[in-house]
A and B are shown apart, each in its own frame.
Chain A
Amino acid sequence: MFAYVVKRLISGVLVVTLVSMAIFLLFWYGPSSPAQPICDRETSNRCTQTKLAVYEKTLGYDNPVYEEYGKYVKGIFVGRTLTIASNDYECGAPCLGVSYRTKQPVKEELVSRMPATFSVAIGGAFLYLLFGVPIGVAAARRRGTVADKALVSSFLFISSIPYYLFALLTWLYLTITFPIPFFSDTGYFSIAQNGPLKWFGGLFLAWVALGIFGCTQYTRFTRGAMVEALSEDYIRTAKAKGLPTRTIVYKHGLRAALVPVVTIFGIDFGTLLAGTIFTERIFDIQGIGYWSLQAVQGRDLPVVQATALFSAVVLIIANLLVDVVYSVLDPRVRLS
């Protein structure tokens, strides 16, 4: 197990390295000069060839690509000093660059935005598991009945709506058309500064949107896994032992059905932690997702790079955790 985790971590590091290289190269060899965005920004869109050349030089874009990538990697480990248009910015390790827009080190902003994204992700995931799994179990137990069929088809309908539309409609109806007083002012308010109530009120609608949408999917996953588990021979054995129905369904059935659900959830949750772009944008939550969207729109290359790298790291860790948890849940699986 330990050897397995080490092996997976090594391969994870390799993937992150490759991702960082890919991102770096994509910007380096992009259609316009990588210095163009900052030149445009600093000169209020009056960037001339000469000015651009200056920016390119200070940013090191006249150097060979491997040299600059080396500096970038070195910055992550020991930090570096970045020069943008004759101003020097101190960027401590792990240096992910300095935002073109705010001139702040990207790392600090990333850290400051984590609570918002994590709040959205944890709350939403909590909701959809809380409702999705039990509803899925209930549907599986009543499979084939009218209630089951109605539930499955209505949930299928919801999950076939694009999520951004679903979230947008939720926001529109619950803040504009039928505004709910306390919850209409959406956004992220830190607990430390605004107290838990404000925090809760601001995130509530985002959670609802994420929760309902996820719930429809997890209901279907759970129902499927549960239907399969309940048709297994060991369920018949459990019944033949004289166990009460609750024990049969939850201890024997759900225990087995959870394995695939947990696997999907691990990857899903990783994706949420890396930033929920639509949710954050629609409910005006200043998290990593929103930030990355703004960075793309503002051509803030260091931020785009940093958020992409961050989601790669989060997903790799989530994957590893899923595999480890899988081996704990299913004793037949040996990690090697």
Chain B
Amino acid sequence: MDLNYSDEEKAFRAEVRAFLAENLPAEVSDKVRRGISLGKEGHEKWHATLNARGWLAYNWPREFGGAEWNAVQRHIFEEECAAAYAPRIVPFGLSMLAPVLQKFGTKEQQDHYLPRILSGDDWWCQGYSEPGAGSDLASLKTRAVRDGDHYVVNGQKTWTTLGQYANWIFCLVRTDPEAKQQEGISFLLIDMTTPGITVRPIVLLDGTPEVNEVFFDDVRVPVENLVGEENKGWTYAKYLLTHERTNIAGVGFSQAGLDAVKRIARIETANGRPLIENPHFAARLAQIEIDLMAMATTNMRIISQAASGQAPGVESSMLKVKGTIIRQEINDLTRRAVGPYAMPFASEAVEGDNAPIGPDYAGPVAAHYFNNRKLSIFGGSNEIQRGIIAKVKMGG
């Protein structure tokens, strides 16, 4: 048992920190810290900066142009990025689709799509959920019918995050309605400019147009856009979900969020004293920090197992549940910390650069509290995760 990082790992951390100090513009980290949207271009710029250093695809194997970092390196990088308020890497192409193509795609698909993900030529979005298929994803109904060299796709996807920026969507579609639910699903790559596709924004409760509905009306998709075998899509989808769950604990986000709320609580006052000295507030803060310290170690224990080649199983479900609870508690505490200045609806603070109302840190905190209720809903809701944990551990 040794709780310290090795010398190589410490050197790697120093390298990441130096890179961020040099390459992360203050105006960008300031936006991330204040929770202001970067827009499509902002994300693309940051991707390009990382790509120039060879660090954009840090989870990809070297043969595809990735950095092939192990789990500990990834964790160090993610932690440093969160601490420096670097933009998050948009995951859809890089850490969701790419691993599927690398494992199940054809050589042609890999050669065509992977470089375009790195270069930023393509922005991918995810076509999984449907109005009737949320937690029960396998009940999805979007149909793809073979017609010569094409599939004809009809149906609707929903909760498509940042679909408004995307030019490609990877979709789960039903190709065999007669088979058992999980066995009639295929994995299709669809060009968003194909006739018959309509993207409609869904405004979330904090006012942000972050997610979309995507409608397919007789959309013709070339058969070579099928990934792997027809009707085997569920296997690929499950593989993708295990990759979606890297960094699922969000330790770096929580650490950065905790630092932010501490900074706010040193400025805010209650009864003439800094809020951070208020016993009830301090107790809440301490409670969260204690939980986070333990979860960081749980996270490292699981990461070490993964680094030594053991695939994380039910543990990633545990991290999802605990990690999202902690992040949501931090959002709640931050909302409380700013007092009455949580009330203004600062949509401009989330989306733009207008002068804030009250202190500059107050604008988006209530919006973030509401927006991050999604953390325990998406990516397999916490109820689904608890079900998995119980089922696996009880041998069901």
Are A and B associated in one complex?
no
Q: Please give the residue numbers on chain B whose beta carbons come within 8 Å of chain A beta carbons, in ascending order.
A: none
Q: Please give the residue numbers on chain A whose beta carbons come within 8 Å of chain B beta carbons, in ascending order.
A: none
